[in-house]
Amino acid sequence: MHAKVSVAVQTGDFDIAAEYARLAGDTSIGAVVQFIGRVRDQNEGSTVSRLMLEHYPGMTEKVLDNIGQRALIRWNLLSVRIVHRIGPLDLADQIVLVQVAAKNREAAFESAHAIMDFLKTEAPFWKQEATPEGARWLDAREHDESAVQRWSDVKK
Amino acid sequence: MHLLYFGRLRQEFGLSEENLAPPSVATVAGLLAQLRARGGIWAEELAEGRIFRVAVDQEVATPDMPLQAGSEVAIFPPVTGG
């Protein structure tokens, strides 16, 4: 039986088919959403060739688990799985997986969206991009702060 | 007290961690004042109005949060994961 909330922070890749297979045989699940974030070749007008992801070991796992627990309660989910990679990443590599399982699609779609919005503003990860102009640390985006406002009914 | 620095601030300070005795004013604000007193990049990056975050024992902290000898304090830029 799969855990209700499970998180992983790892340098290695994740396998979305294997992640989905973890839910096999659970007859209470009516909807599963898997969101995958990937390394894009453009950001803020610059060509990106590579990404380096740094994190705060210990706090990262706690924050991801807390986000999962909050979503589990708010949307009455059956399970939440969050996997986030760290270290050097190449173009088109997978960065993050959010998988939610619910009784119905509304809860699954909404909670996956909300979990990503919370992750972007709360989880202690920092991205450094390699560009033709040299390496640069990404700045937090105003948009990420406003995106999270829509989930203000989710308890901290 | 164990201090940790991450992301752009770690690079600017040229330091990822250090051990310090708790500041005379044993709060997050007191610690920041002590670090700013180092001058240079410390005063610049941690100046009032600059945007950065502080966590105490891995929880996001406010300036009035008390610090103890065993506290783990992290200072870092706004997060950019996902």
The Cα–Cα gap between B34 and B11 comes to: 20
**Of residues A58, A59, A119, nearest to B82 (C-beta):** A119
Looking at the DSSP assignment, which residues form a beta bridge with residue B28? none
Do the chains contact at A125 and B74, CB–CB below 8 Å? no
Q: What is the pLDDT along chain A (156 residues), one digit of tens a residue?
A: 567 999 999 999 999 999 999 999 999 999 999 999 999 998 878 888 899 999 999 999 999 999 999 999 999 999 999 999 999 999 999 999 999 999 999 999 999 999 999 999 999 999 999 888 889 999 888 788 888 889 988 877
Which residues have a Cβ under 8 Å from the Cβ of A77 and sit 6 or more positions away? A4, A71, A100, A101, A102, A107, A108, A111
**Of residues B58, B74, B80, nearest to A125 (C-beta):** B80
A135 C-beta neighbours (distance < 10 Å), count: 11
The Cα–Cα gap between A115 and A125 comes to: 15
Interchain contact A115–B (C-beta under 8 A): no
- Regarding an ipTM greater than 0.85, the answer is yes
Comparing alpha-carbon positions, the chain B residue that sits nearest to A121 is B79
Comparing alpha-carbon positions, the chain B residue that sits nearest to A56 is B6
**Of residues B6, B74, B82, nearest to A54 (C-beta):** B6
CB-based burial label for A153 (10 Å; 0-12, 13-18, 19+): exposed
C-beta separation of B42 from B13 below 8 A = yes
